[in-house]
Amino acid sequence: MPTLPYLDHPGPVPLAHRGFSSTGLENSRAAFAAAVELGYRYLETDVHATADGMVVAFHDTRLDRVTDRQGAVAALPWAEVARARIGGMEPVPSLAELLEEFPAARFNIDIKAPAAVTPLAELLERTRSHDRVCVTSFSDRRRLAALRRLSRPVATSAGQAVVGGLLAVQRLPPAARAPVARRLLAGVHLLQVPEQFGRVPVLTPAVLATVHAAGVGVHVWTVNDRATMVRLLDAGVDGLVTDRADLLKDVLRERGEWV
């Protein structure tokens, strides 16, 4: 598997979840700017596409929860979505704007809807952002569809189908796990998961060891308290996604791991 620039961070990777989202303005330009001002190089975001194909940095299917307007993003033209204000204050940014405004930043991009696949791939091609992004999705089908549309490799993180397979692998005898895990993780650079999903443990010591043995990094989301940050870093995870960009920076600095 090729070594990609996105993956060259020398130590645990701090990722600002939807920017510095504890500001209350998730996925806004202000939230991303606040993370960059703290020194973050890795910014996590989600994408949808508007009815006319603009790729926007936005988590929800609808505008209702976090903006002063209503409606499904996919059903509205960009001109309408651009009038919405996150928290009544900040406009919904396009991904193109963010790539241009923060040229030194790397973006972890979660594709939230099938309609965003082709517009995202076209944007990454047009802006030649391949080295700056990790493309992921809960849906491996969406993720792989985006990758097939790109002319160059990009970093990518496994979706739910791969994660489910890895959990099933843990029921095999230890000696049989490695070859199956390597097949499941072929073409994947990262596993980005919560510690548990509902009541189901996801990131167990056995899963961490299996994934690392396959040469794949592990990032954990969304970690917002000091004790959990320290415990996971001590366990050897390769990155943390957090709403508390300020706190994670403090923890990494105390450990001599803020780069």
Which long-range CB contacts under 8 A does 186-189 form with residues at least 24 apart? 187/1, 187/156, 188/156, 188/157, 188/158, 188/162, 188/216, 189/1, 189/4, 189/6, 189/7, 189/134, 189/155, 189/156, 189/157, 189/216, 189/217
User: If we measure between CA atoms, which residue out of 53, 60, 188 comes closest to residue 112?
Assistant: 60
Instruction: At 189, list the tokens.
Output: 């650079």
Q: Which is catalytic among the residues 17, 48, 189, 219?
A: 17
Q: Which is catalytic among the residues 9, 59, 189, 212?
A: 59
Angle at 158 between CA 211 and CA 161, to 5 degrees: 100
Cα separation, 34 vs 226, in Å, equals 20
Residue type, 2: P
> Look-up: residue for tokens 């979840």?
17
212 given a catalytic annotation? no
Residues with active-site annotation:
17, 59
